[in-house]
Every structure is written in structure tokens, then in C-alpha cells.
Amino acid sequence: MKRKITLISGDGIGLEIMSAAAEIIDAAAGNIEWEEAIAGQGAYESCGELLPKKTIESIEKNKIALKGPITTPVGKGFRSINVQLRQYFNLYANLRPVKSYEGIKSLYNDLDLVIVRENSEDLYTGIEHMVTKDAAESIKIITRGASERIVDFAFKIAQKEKKSKVTLTHKANIMKLTDGLFLESGRKVAEKYPNIKFEDVIVDAMSMKLVMRPYDYQVVVAPNLYGDILSDLAAGLIGGLGMTPSANIGDDIAVFEPVHGSAPDIAGQNIANPTAAILAGVMMLKYIGEDSSAAKIESALKRVLKNENLHTKDIGGSLSTMEFKNEVIKAL
């Protein structure tokens, strides 16, 4: 019986890279049936809605979605569709693996850590207003329940991935109530996992330490904003956002996506790197129990990335998106 999964191509380069990822998954796993849906700027242009009801219903029904990048205007316009999806489905955990691959020029080799980002609150709730015409205020919300839930999720990831340490990052020296609550919650949860080392690091120091000594860290758990920033910083250690997938996970629904944006400047040119989308597909397959298919795809991708003659333009090569996809399928 085939497993039905919602496929959202998104905006910009999304159509190209998600098509490539889906075709690779089809080549490795014969039991996936895609239900295509739309969201974002392209959806608005075609049906007048940024997040159509049909797309919501598809995700609710299928429980799993593979989603491409969606354009979000900076400073004005509509709110992030990504944030809306996370809040609507209570996808409280954002999982971002940071893994280096042979053949990719990066600052570190053999790096393998995971950033676990709280996904439901903090400044990303979008509660902000103008106090006067010259002053704006944004409200940061941290709750005990969400904090304990995400730290517990991080420890469970450590157990699953056989990691021996969880590092919580915060700014409790300045934000003593909000970040203080996050830290207090983390310490409480850590008591349930005596076999896993627990430490906390202030976020500005964490930024420096991740650049200087990333091998010291295995699982990093953070509130929403810090997790977003640190995961992009960590992507810079392994070759950029083109190499980084992510998962948004709730109690019974999960959405998998590349971390990078929609890159409208190169959309339609068949030059985008589909690696992050492919790796998001690998994460999705593992999540639904298709470990064998996930391993096949990652192994094939590793072989292609190892050969510098088979890279896309952004990582120093000359292959098109579709040529790169074909090489991965060939390696399967």
C-alpha cells in the first residue's frame, strides 16, 4: 500500500528542487504517492490565498508534507507562511542536522551535530505593535510547558542518535524571566536523563564556540530565535544553506523542508542545488520508517557530492539541477 504525502513545491526555485527530490525518492522508494498542494506567493497569484484551505486539508489528512521554500517579504507584506504552518499544526520542534559531506568545501570535516529549535513561541509569535510613531514593541513569550517539551525532545533525539551530550543555549544573564524560565525548565528535564551530559551556554558565547570548536557539541537546544540564528551559522560551517535540511515536528504531523529560501533571482534557470531538498526527503523517509530507502538516497548523494565534477554551480561545479538529480538517480 502506498503512503500518501503532501508535496508543496513553494516559490522561486522550489518547483525545480522539489521536483528533483521527489523523483529521487520515487527511484528509491516505490511506495510513495504524492498529493501536490500549493502555498505562498505562487498560490496567491493562482487562487488568491497564501495558504489555501485545500493545502491545510491535505496536510491534516496525510500527516506528512515535503515542502519547498516559500517567499516571505522583508519588513512589510504578509507574515511568514512557514511560521503560520508551524503554529496552525503545532509543529513545536524544529530539527536541523548539521552534517559535513566529503567533496564539499567547508570549514570542518566529519562534523555531525543537531540543532533542536523551539518552534511555537518566543518572538516568532508575531505579537508586536507601534507604541508611538517612532517606537515599536515586540513581545517575547516563553512558557514552561513549551520549554520542557522541546528540551525533552532534544534529549530523546540524543538517545535515538546515540549522542552523549545536550547543550542548552540562552541569554538568561540578561533576560532573567523569559530565558531564565527556559533554562530552569531545561535543568528540570535534564534530571530525567542522568546518562546524558547536560550543559548550558550563553548564546553569544555559543556563537563563538560553534565556530571555533563545533566538535564539542552534539545536540544543541535553543529557543526559537536563537535556534534560527545558530542553525544558519552552523550551516556556514558545512558549505552553506544549500546543504541543510530541516524537519518541523508536532505530535502527529510533520513537515520537512530545505532551510534555504526561494532564491527568486535564479528561479527557472535550472541551476539551483537540490541537495537540501533531497536531504529533507531523507529525513522524511526516516521519520515514516523507510530507513532503507533513506540510507540508499543518502549513500547515492554522498557518492555524487564526493565527485567535484558532479557539483552544481553554487558548490563549485557546472551541473544543472536536473543533471545533478540524474547523477543521484544513477548512483542509486
pLDDT of residue 83: 82
Under 8 Å CB-to-CB from 76, ≥6 apart: which residues?
none
State pLDDT tens for residues 162-182: 999 999 999 999 999 999 999
Concerning whether 313 is annotated as a catalytic residue, the answer is no
Please state, for a pLDDT cut of 90, what percent of the chain lies above it: 88
Concerning whether 228 is annotated as a catalytic residue, the answer is yes
CATH number for domain 1-92+244-332, candidates 3.40.50.300, 3.40.718.10, 3.40.50.2300, 3.30.160.160: 3.40.718.10
Catalytic residue among 228, 296, 314, 325: 228
Instruction: Tell which residue, 16, 24, 11, has the closest CA to residue 284.
Output: 24
Query: In the chain, where does DSSP find H-type helix?
Result: 14-28, 41-47, 53-62, 81-88, 144-160, 178-190, 203-212, 224-235, 275-287, 291-306, 321-331
**In one letter, which amino acid is 184?**
E
pLDDT of residue 43: 86
Cα–Cα distance measured from residue 226 to residue 228, given in angstroms and rounded to the nearest whole number: 5
Catalytic residue among 61, 105, 192, 204: 204
* Whether pLDDT at 34 is above 50: yes
pLDDT of residue 78: 52
* Whether pLDDT at 255 is above 80: yes
Do 21 and 281 form a contact (C-beta atoms < 8 A)? Answer: yes
State pLDDT tens for residues 101-157: 999 999 999 999 999 999 999 998 889 999 999 999 999 999 999 999 999 999 999
Angle at 42 between CA 271 and CA 73, to 5 degrees: 85
- In the chain, how long is the greatest CA-to-CA distance? 60
Give the mean model confidence (pLDDT) for residues 40-63: 91
State pLDDT tens for residues 287-303: 999 999 999 999 999 99
Burial 166-188 (b: 16+ CB within 10 A, else e): bbbbbbbeebeebbbbbbebbee
Cα–Cα distance measured from residue 41 to residue 319, given in angstroms and rounded to the nearest whole number: 28
Banded pLDDT at 73 (limits 50, 70, 90) = low
State pLDDT tens for residues 95-105: 999 999 999 99
Concerning whether 88 is annotated as a catalytic residue, the answer is no
Domain 112-236 falls under CATH 3.40.718.10 = yes
Catalytic residue among 11, 67, 92, 171: 171
State pLDDT tens for residues 299-317: 999 999 999 999 999 999 9
pTM over 0.75: yes
pLDDT of residue 183: 98
Instruction: State the average pLDDT for the chain.
Output: 94
Concerning whether 179 is annotated as a catalytic residue, the answer is no
Do 306 and 100 form a contact (C-beta atoms < 8 A)? Answer: no
Sheet holding 254-258, edge to edge: 32-37, 3-8, 64-67, 254-258, 245-249, 93-99, 112-118, 219-222, 165-170, 197-202
Boundaries of every domain in the chain: 1-92+244-332, 112-236
Catalytic residue among 101, 124, 217, 226: 124
Banded pLDDT at 72 (limits 50, 70, 90) = low
Do 94 and 116 form a contact (C-beta atoms < 8 A)? Answer: yes
Under 8 Å CB-to-CB from 25, ≥6 apart: which residues?
32, 281, 285, 293, 297
Q: Got the DSSP string for 149-162?
A: HHHHHHHHHHHHTT
**In one letter, which amino acid is 182?**
F
Q: Do the first three CATH levels of 1-92+244-332 and 112-236 match, i.e. the same topology?
A: yes
Cα–Cα distance measured from residue 21 to residue 35, given in angstroms and rounded to the nearest whole number: 14
Banded pLDDT at 75 (limits 50, 70, 90) = very low
